Amino acid sequence: MSLPLFNKWQQQDLPQYLAEDLSSIAQDEKAMEDRFYQYVSFGTGGMRGILGAGTNRMNIYTIRRVAEGLARYIASHGEEAKLRGVVIAYDTRHFSYEFAVETARVLGVHHIKAYVYKEARPTPQLSFTVRELKAFAGVVITASHNPKQYNGFKVYGEDGAQLVPAGANAIIQHMNEIDDIFNITVAETEQLEKMNLLQWILEDLDQKFMAQLLTLKTNAAIDYNMKLVYTPLHGAGLVPVVEGLKQFGFKEVHIVKEQALQDGAFPTVAYPNPEEAIAFSMAIALGKQVGADLLLATDPDADRLGVAVRNGDNYELLTGNQLGALLLHYLLKTKQVNGTLPTNGTLLKTIVTSELGTAIAAQFGVETVNTLTGFKYIAEKIAEFEATGSHTYIFGYEESYGYLIETFARDKDAVQVALKVAEMAAYYATEQKTLLQALEGLYEQFGYYQEALISKTFEGKDGQEQMAAILNDYRINPPTAFAGIAVVRVEDYLSSTATMNDGTTEAIKLPKENVLKFILEDGSWVTVRPSGTEPKCKFYVGVKQTSLEAAQQVVNKLKKSLTE
């Protein structure tokens, strides 16, 4: 099938850069198969893939296909949905702006209004803007923290949250109806502007977003002279994070100038991911130069935040689980002191996130509700709480550096959290404590929780088949022990069934997903799941012990067991 599709693409009047890219694989059958064996997959997180020519690549034609599917989905909801329109934002990646405009050009043919940001803005700001403008949907062009070769297309519903499976499946159905992506009609931007089907937005929404961000400031008793370093890693977080810190009152904010350049080549980092220590190299160098206490880094679309804390002459990075626990405790403590802690307060976290948060929440009388991995499920629960009044949302987070405090956005929000982490660190500074010392205090009080992640990459068609086989083997032949620690419960989220080691079962009341979680007799756990956005299989480990050394020993044993 690859050769006929390859030939069809060659016969098209492609932009020169795509034609050259196609020619480069003309003699490589394996590369040809990888480019054309499928379309870039679209799921509840949208689509994400490598830039280039072919159906399994991100380019203007695959963008037109998903935009056409979205347009048909919106049109199926009637004229009001079309009039309410779609907000489109984008990060600083290669072709992000072009893909945003291409999306508006497809929507315009269907007389669907598009509000397009003039400049790159964060994903959480897109979420906020959908709600603010009462739009029917939102799109953000981003590949989040992936390397420079990638870009993507995420779709948001009218609540500002990523689409849940029902909406995503409807768009997929419309995409599958498209016989020839080269026949998709697009309108000219000038024509759309004249017809008021394309409206550019920026300053007014920036101001409204900032006004909401400033509501996060709840503690004035902090050290405003604490020295901070911030890096946007060449991404879209620069404007709101820097302005937000300034308006919060911080006087010593130092920006990594080389990484303030909004450049999709990410010239100073191979991998613009604040989860990785290497991404902090330049921030650490600047931190040492200015004597900073706290380093903050956001990924290209500013939905993930990484944090490093000064520890003597060096800096120590916090994990997503650690920062989440610190934020949760600080938020609950502040609400308790201010008398604003609700009686039905609820923490939302994912099934692969540390149980330290559960323990902290319980001390404050706050319930913990677990969701599947993906912030769309946390957002779905927030909407449910609002509709029923059964719970009051307090905080939501996941181990992969995603957090949400206030619900004016409905996706993980590194802008919110950058400001709140700065406030939290400045608060502890008044008590002569660093965030590391505050974390040690939590461990001493609640136990030493430690987690780890092993991520294995499976590229291409063969890799996808191999990853499916791994999950299938775990499902058919479930391990009875990891590192000599017996499995006492197997949770299969695809069959929605938990099976105990005595053979008894119980239902799992969460949406179906291809995930397996093994609970061990000492309370440790291991989870296996394929990534929804990358060609990776992820293996998560979580333990609790009475000392940091003991916890790390168990983590290492479990990691070794999984690797072997």
CATH topology for the 57-201 domain: Alpha-D-Glucose-1,6-Bisphosphate; Chain A, domain 3 (3.40.120)
CATH architecture of 448-563: 2-Layer Sandwich (3.30)
CATH 3.30.310.50 domain position(s) in the chain: 448-563
Cβ 541 vs Cβ 559: under 8 Å: yes
Residue 280 CA to residue 536 CA, distance in Å, equals: 24
Closest CA to 296 of 248, 356, 363, 229: 229
* 533 has a pLDDT exceeding 70: no
Q: Are 544 and 521 in contact (CB under 8 A)?
A: no
CATH (one of 3.40.120.10, 3.40.50.970, 3.40.190.10, 3.30.70.580) for 210-304: 3.40.120.10
Bridge partners of 199, per DSSP, are: 115
Q: pLDDT tens digits for 216-255? A: 999 888 999 999 999 999 999 999 999 999 999 999 999 9
Q: pLDDT tens, 62-79?
A: 999 999 999 999 999 999
pLDDT confidence band for 535 (50 / 70 / 90): confident
Percent of residues, the chain, with pLDDT higher than 70: 99
Tokens matching residue 516: 């397996």
What are the start-end ranges of the E strands in 353-391? 367-371
CB 469 within 8 A of CB 476: no
The average pLDDT across 25-34 equals: 92
Domain boundaries 321-446, CATH class? alpha beta
pLDDT of residue 532: 67
Which of the four pLDDT bands, split at 50, 70 and 90, describes residue 464?
Answer: confident
List helix spans (H) across 119-198: 123-132, 165-176, 189-194
Q: Which amino acid is at 351?
A: I
Burial class (CB in 10 A: 0-12, 13-18, 19+), 424: buried
Beta bridge partners of 306: 297
Buried b (16+ CB within 10 A) or exposed e, 478-495: eeeebbebebebbbbbee
Active site residues: 144
Q: What is the mean pLDDT of residues 115-135?
A: 98
Instruction: CATH 3.40.120.10 in the chain: give the residue spans.
Output: 57-201, 210-304, 321-446
pLDDT in tens, 489-531: 999 999 999 999 999 999 999 989 999 999 999 999 999 998 8
- The pTM of the full predicted model, rounded to 2 decimals, is 0.94
Q: Which phi and psi (to 5°) does residue 40 adopt?
A: -50, 125
Q: Is 74 exposed, middle or buried (0-12, 13-18, 19+ CB in 10 A)?
A: buried
Strand ranges, E, within 173-257 = 198-201, 227-231, 252-255
CB-CB neighbours of 84 under 10 Å: 19
Q: What are phi and psi of 526, to 5 degrees?
A: -135, 130
